[in-house]
Amino acid sequence: YAFACGGSAVAREGVLRTLFARNMWVAHRQGCCWGAYEEEALVCFFMLVPQGVGSPTPSICDLLRSGIFESLLRLGLRATLALARITAWAETAELDLLQGRTVLRLEGMVVRPSRQRQGIGTKALRAALRVADESGLEVFLATQEANSVPFYRRLDFEVVREEAYAPAGFVTWFMLRPVGGAGATA
């Protein structure tokens, strides 16, 4: 998002807040939200999204709900188009990697900074992964955070591709977790 926002931390935070709110709203309507609370405060949140959630040909209402028009107003046309190009690149890689397999997509995994490295994210994600296993579905994710890769590996995700987005120079790790975890495929 820094690439699309021209390096502005303020613009990046605004985009992330908008996207998070919109994604959470859509995922909540589809029953895709997971999280952990402590004393009524959300400390961990993520979405486990089935393929096909959302419309392949979005309507004007879908675009409004997704925040695309807000992005145009907040960021301008150039940054919004940059985000669209990044999204298309990632979606193309996902299609190539999955080769038509049905998976759940892990998105938006966040843990409140003051509660990181205390097992909260691991515990919440393990519960969701048990549901994925019971459903017989692999789980796919993409991350641009190098320090997140070991966390996901501990939960049996495997890096299936590491690729740089040339126009911006950032790296994305595309990861897949087999049904039942890594030991289940042996």
Tens of pLDDT, residue by residue over 88-137, are 888 899 999 999 899 999 988 888 888 888 999 999 999 999 999 999 99
Side-chain-side CA neighbours of residue 43 (13 Å): 18
More confident residue, 93 or 61: 93
Long-range Cβ contact pairs of 65-71 (< 8 A, separation 24 or more): 65/22, 65/25, 65/26, 66/22, 66/26, 67/18, 67/19, 67/21, 67/22, 70/18, 71/15, 71/18
pLDDT at residue number 5: 61
